[in-house]
Chain A
Amino acid sequence: MTTSDQPGYRPAAPGSQPPLDAPAYGSTHKRHPKQPPLRIAATLTETSAPRMSAGLYPSHAELAKGPGWEAQGERIIVAGRVLDEDGRPLRGTMVEIWQANAAGRYNHERDRHDAPLDPNFKGEGRIFTDAEGWYRFTTIRPGAYPWRNHHNAWRPVHIHYSVFGAGFAQRLVTQMYFPGDPLLPIDPVFMAIPDAAARDRLVARFDLDIAEPEYALGYRFDIVLRGRAATPMENPA
């Protein structure tokens, strides 16, 4: 039975996405489905997406400093473009970030790490891409922090990203990492991605053109959402 007269989205390139069952990452053990997912043809439910705007979801792209407050840490600018697999920019799409503070502590009641909180750092931002797909946040470089996955486990420095696309099937939550972090090759979350090139694309590039002189260093992180397939698919009968 055909469910769609319109193309959906391309399946993931081999090795480019992490598996749900990743033995080195303990929290996957009881949370990964054992049955394979049912691949369905895209319908309007998958090719439509929420219309979000700064009017309903106010933007705040300045996490490092504001009137009467200033976060502790090394100021950085993270910027990049949101594109699809055909290189087309996604305009007006909502990008959210969240992160630990400079000491490696989240402003979150469940974070028990013995590192100081910074009353001037909440660690959450939201912005909408411009006509060319660009986003830009000013924040502070987060710290690494321990977790309990295994003995002496530390997460590499990272910023969490949440991105919406033009279709709900393009939804992406991921993490941006920093170049040269010695924790990357031993991190079970990062290393769960099979393809080395796909892992490398999660590492931001140091970019002096994004830096602001006398104020903040710059990092470039582009995000690619799934592209549309050329033809509709059929559901299994």
Chain B
Amino acid sequence: MTDEPRFGLTATASQTAGPFWHLIDFPAWADLLRADGPNAEVAGERIILTGRITDGDGAPCPDMMVELWQADPAGSYEGAFNGFGRCATDDDGMFRFTTLKPGPVRAAGNAFQAPHVALTLFARGLLHHLVTRLYFAGEALNEQDPVLSAVPPIRRATLIAQPEGAGVWRLDIRLQGERETVFLEV
């Protein structure tokens, strides 16, 4: 890749969300299917996405803001479904979203990306947010997904959620150390 010449303005620097970001935590936002929310009428496969976030010592991170962004069940970002959620981790470092399973999203040409959701993490100790993705185990499209294909095979499992009971998918996120999650620069 080549750096393009820079001109005009420079993007504002990021700073940590700190430990008190819960002032903008609205717990209902973790349920994308909430009755008074934007998606109450949208049809699809209802799923729960959950997992534990841990630090370099393996200790749970109980103060993280996790944001989710995903396509609708048809793989579109422009339909009626508003695929945005925000969730605070609990005392055990667990996040939990209720949503609809996304469909394959268009990639370049006639290709498709495997179903996935983007996850963004903010917290005390993160001067810039972290971006990763959650994929679903067993999807045929995982084999040809352009982002997963760019991840060294030995680390791909850090992006693939496993089924854990009916409609529940689990992906643990390790910020640092052994089996460290693959984070993306987008």
Contact = CB atoms under 8 A, between A and B. Distances in A.
A43 B4 CA distance: 19
A103 to B, nearest CB: 14
B55 interface: yes
Contacts of A234: 1
A72 interface: no
Interface in B1-24: 1, 3-4, 6, 8-24
Interface string B85-124: 0000000000000000000011111000100101010111
B8 A85 contact: yes
A236 B151 CA distance: 9
Nearest to A126: B24
A13 B61 contact: no
Interface in A161-208: 162, 168-169, 171-175, 189-190, 192-193, 197-199, 201-202
> By CB atoms of chain A within 10 A, which of B108, B122, B183 has the most?
B108
Contacts of B124: 27, 31
A85 B15 contact: no
Contacts of A152: none
A8 B184 CA distance: 13
A196 to B, nearest CB: 11
Contacts of B108: 2-5, 232
B84 to A, nearest CB: 4
B15 A50 contact: no
A154 to B, nearest CB: 14
Interface in A201-221: 201-202
Given A16-B10, A44-B105, A22 B185 contact: no
A9 B186 contact: yes
B57 interface: yes
Query: How large, as a class, is the contact surface on chain A?
Result: 35 or more
B147 A18 contact: no
A35 B15 contact: no
A200 B14 CA distance: 13
Given A41-B146, A199-B13, A171 B129 contact: yes
A4 B107 contact: yes
A150 interface: no
B139 to A, nearest CB: 15
Contact of A30 (B17, B57, B107, B186): B57
B175 A40 contact: no
B127 A189 contact: yes
A197 to B, nearest CB: 8
B83 interface: yes
B9 A25 contact: no
A40 B185 contact: yes
A98 B21 contact: yes
Contacts of B18: 160
A168 B183 contact: no
B20 A98 contact: yes
Contact of A86 (B1, B8, B19): B8
B4 A160 contact: no
A13 B11 contact: yes
A64 to B, nearest CB: 16
A87 B7 CA distance: 10
B66 interface: no
8 contacts: A3-B147, A11-B3, A20-B127, A39-B184, A45-B70, A162-B24, A173-B14, A173-B15
Interface of B: 1, 3-4, 6, 8-24, 37-38, 55-57, 59, 61, 63, 67, 69-71, 77-78, 82-84, 105-109, 113, 116, 118, 120, 122-131, 133, 146-147, 149-151, 175-177, 180-186
